[in-house]
Amino acid sequence: MALHWMPATERTDLLAEPVARAVAELGPGAEVAEIDPELADTAAFCERYGVGLDESANCVVVAGRRGGETRYAACMVLATARVDVNGVVRRHLDTRKASFAPMARAVELTGMEYGGITPLGLPGDWPILVDADVAEHPRVVIGSGVRRSKLAVPGAALAGLKGAEVLPLAI
């Protein structure tokens, strides 16, 4: 099944509220396509809609703890890779331990649906760590904040987000 891409600013009804606000600030280039929400998970989405795993990027929310304080970060890697949570991300957050944030907490803090979390519209104090392969990609498919759609954006747009830093995150 083919995806019908359209300018994201014209279909904000397909975006979570914080994502819709961020897309407006992002400028032109972001597109959105409606999908079956049951197929929002990366592998199922890519298989059904013919999108390569190397064209899809996942946003992983990581929580690091140090001295009773929890620090969060969003990490963007291509779907063909995994995030180096206990190496690069833990050191970047300057924490003793880092792990994937619990699903309920990630949903609560982002205002987005699990399986649709994206770096657009995240809390302003969160670092957005973008793997170099994502930053250099001409166009990656990412979450939209909800499970019923996907966004396509230039990797450079993700690298240019406020709070974004390009790092070698993939393992």
Q: Is 13 exposed, middle or buried (0-12, 13-18, 19+ CB in 10 A)?
A: exposed
| Model pLDDT for residues 106-160, shown as the tens digit of each residue | 999 999 999 999 999 999 999 999 999 999 999 999 999 999 999 999 999 999 9
Q: What is the tens place of the pLDDT at every residue in 65-101?
A: 988 899 999 999 999 999 999 999 999 999 999 999 9
pLDDT digits (tens, 9 = 90+) for 20-43: 999 988 877 899 999 999 999 999
Residue 83 is which amino acid? V
Q: What is the CATH number of domain 6-167?
A: 3.90.960.10
Token pair, residue 70, equals 């929890």
How large a percentage of the chain has pLDDT more than 90? 92
What average pLDDT does the chain have?
95
What pLDDT is attached to residue 104? 97
Global pTM?
A: 0.95
> Residue 6 and residue 35: Cα distance in Å, rounded?
13
